[in-house]
Amino acid sequence: MGKVLDHLQHIKPELGPATRPEKNRHWRLARDENDIAWLVLDRHDSSANTLSESVLKELDERLDLIDNEKPKALVIRSAKSSAFVAGADITEFRGLADGGKVEEQLNLGHAIFDRIEKFSFPTITVVHGYALGGGFELALATDYRVAIEGASFGFPEVRLGLHPGLGGTFRLTELIDPVEAMTMMLTGSNAHTKKAKKLGIADLVVEERHLKNAINAIVDGKIAKQEPGLKSSAFILSPARSFAARQMRAKTAERASQDHYPAPYALIDLWEEHHGDREKMQRGEIKSFAKLLTSQTAQNLIRVFFLREKLKNIGDGEHGISHVHVIGAGAMGGEIAAWCAVRGFRVSLGDVKNAPIGEALKEAKALCNDQHLSGTETRDALDRLIPDPQGHGIAQADLVIEAVPEKPELKREIYKAIEPRMKATAILATNTSSLELPELATALKNPARFAGVHFFNPVSKMQLVEIVYHDKTEKNVLERLNAFTGSISRLPAPVKSYPGFLVNRALMPYLMEALMLLDEGHEKVVIDRTAEQFGMPMGPIELADQVGLDICLHVAESLKGNLEKPMPEIPDWLRKKVEKGELGRKTGQGFYKWSDGKVQKEDVPDLAKAPDDMLDRLILPMLDACVECLRKGIVEDTDVIDGAMIFATGFAPFRGGPMNYARDRGVDEIRNKISELRNKHGPRFEPDRGWSGLNGKDS
């Protein structure tokens, strides 16, 4: 896009002390030759613009100057090359428990945005990149929104257990079709450039070089101001709102329960009760937001936000990788290759057969569409993905990723064949999900440059990648792989080689205990619903089908006998299902039937049939395995555990991760409960000795 503010070079700063360049100022104010004021946000203390208390207070000061010497128009935009505004400063949300204090801060922000809305001259927001949360609400307070090509608008607050809190609940539902507005807020979905224009969020969509002409056209009255449409007016009537609200609640309930995620239900209640009455809607929004923000759900989800930031920070740094070669074009290898190409890397993809490579190229094109790439971007990504059945790319690659079936002998044969062909500085990484690296490294002359990059399926949607190291892995190799993972928009979790690493080590007892419950005669829908009520995105039986029963069996067998305490027994009927080809989602039949990739569940679970200890039998072995990994130094700290389990398995985010849940419930209580399960069900429930040192341990 070039420099964001190239067209402002001729603008002279306002006179007055508040507009002179000062250290630690966030806003710059200037006027151009047409007497248009430009208010530009450039947070001095952050690479991204967010709305902190200090940013809002300084904005209020700048509005004083603008109000005193009224310009012909006011334009608000960002000086950051990446985007407009990412939303509120989440660091100020942590640990808040005083709802009254939160309401005071919200009232300040509302007063400032109301002030912008009431200016007698035209106000315009220019958005490039994203305008999220409070940034979107700032844009809604102005008369016009001009989107630079590629811009997007959204309210991600629902992911933090919140809804918009600076006027978004009423300004967006007044501006566009209220159902579309509510859908954006309830789902956290973004409206990209074309959709934003179609919905009426963006008044104009222009390229950066045409921005000045667009601003002049608005100021000259050539662009009509967006007005609420007929659909917005229709919902002024209470019966229409009530009908729509019932539908919204039903759709929301399909994704999240009110007990676990109260924010979307609070938003629906707010809109149903007060839409059309701006004053009541505004007061209700402030009170509702303050109540939600101080709840345990929101504070745990805010914790998840910072867990993500911690893992992202692990991915900072230089990787020195430009060419990736992937060996194995199956479901995992093909998507790894496609994802790396989409993220800008030159990728060669090899396989012993041509058909999987051709299928991977088709899937890569579909992935480009899913990622909203333009035609040019799609062409460039596909040009970077090179079919390479002969493996010529191995010699040029900075990173070789092996993604062949989980057969140690096969992997070692490949390593012996390719190691002499690789560059001396290249890294060899395996995508194995459970095989221990020291065993695989025996085939290598230089195991120091060998590590694991364990992607989860599907690669394009699962955010976590386990970066697996062994005793001989060079520190520089680990650092480069962490940075590479960050560069492809994934979250690295460094883990030491261990049976199942972290995620599968913790997940398999959960899945295997579910099979034990099945073996005892409990219904699969009851088992799944019990886990879902706890907050898991799907139950363990459905998850086993998703992963693939053959994969589950392989991982279970690789763990069995390699751990300090016994795993649940592998039922013979599981092996028979695998032998018959009933592998789950990928074959259309597993524990459930699957159609077009969707599970078919006809039975309604009767949770009264679940024994009292069913939930603990499922969840507590997972926590116990996490404690074992912490004690053995497989992971660095409890934050990495919580982040990995949330972003790889979907462990109930509103609980803040398994270790956070253990602390909330009580470490001693959980250890005692595991001991009770041992007494009742056997030694597989023996509590790990790491529990005794967990109380008070800093995460």
- Which CATH architecture group holds 504-634+666-693? Orthogonal Bundle (1.10)
Catalytic residue among 128, 454, 470, 554: 454
Residue type, 97: A
Reading the block at residue 487, the tokens are 């560069």
Sheet holding 130-132, edge to edge: 130-132, 152-154, 190-192
Reading the block at residue 509, the tokens are 């007892």
What pLDDT is attached to residue 229?
A: 63
Picking from 83, 71, 174, the residue whose alpha carbon sits closest to that of residue 123 is 71
Catalytic residue among 78, 295, 431, 433: 433
The four Cα atoms 517, 523, 529, 531 give a dihedral, to 10 degrees, of: 10
Is 466 one of the annotated active-site residues of the chain? Answer: yes
CATH of 320-502, one of 3.40.50.300, 3.30.460.20, 3.40.50.720, 2.60.120.10: 3.40.50.720
Catalytic residue among 78, 288, 300, 504: 504
Kind plus residue range of the DSSP H or E element containing 68: helix 53-68
Mean pLDDT (10-residue bins), the chain, 699 residues: 48 42 78 95 92 96 95 97 95 93 96 98 97 98 96 97 97 94 96 94 95 95 79 76 94 91 97 94 98 97 96 96 97 96 96 94 92 90 96 97 95 97 97 94 97 95 96 97 97 96 95 94 94 94 93 87 84 93 93 92 82 96 97 96 97 96 95 96 94 68
Is 319 one of the annotated active-site residues of the chain? Answer: no
Specify which residues 144 forms β-bridges with.
Answer: 124
Cβ–Cβ contacts within 10 Å for residue 81, how many?
A: 13
Kind plus residue range of the DSSP H or E element containing 368: helix 354-370
Reading the block at residue 610, the tokens are 């679940």
CA separation for the pair 76, 54 (Å, rounded):
17
Is 7 one of the annotated active-site residues of the chain? Answer: no
Picking from 120, 113, 128, 172, the residue whose alpha carbon sits closest to that of residue 40 is 128
Residue type, 42: D
Residue 34, SS3? coil
Q: Where are the domains of the chain?
A: 6-294, 320-502, 504-634+666-693
User: Are 323 and 345 in contact, with CB atoms under 8 Å apart?
Assistant: yes
User: Are 183 and 189 in contact, with CB atoms under 8 Å apart?
Assistant: yes
What pLDDT is attached to residue 17?
A: 38
Cβ-in-10-Å burial (0-12, 13-18, 19+) of 219 comes to buried
What pLDDT is attached to residue 14?
A: 44
Picking from 86, 131, 126, the residue whose alpha carbon sits closest to that of residue 206 is 126
What pLDDT is attached to residue 24?
A: 61
CA separation for the pair 247, 184 (Å, rounded):
15
Is 433 one of the annotated active-site residues of the chain? Answer: yes
User: Are 694 and 627 in contact, with CB atoms under 8 Å apart?
Assistant: yes
Contacts 24+ apart (CB under 8 A), 247-255: 248/182, 248/186, 251/186, 252/186
Catalytic residue among 208, 335, 466, 628: 466
Residue type, 210: H
Reading the block at residue 655, the tokens are 């609980």
What pLDDT is attached to residue 19?
A: 42
Fold of 6-294: 2-enoyl-CoA Hydratase; Chain A, domain 1 (3.90.226)
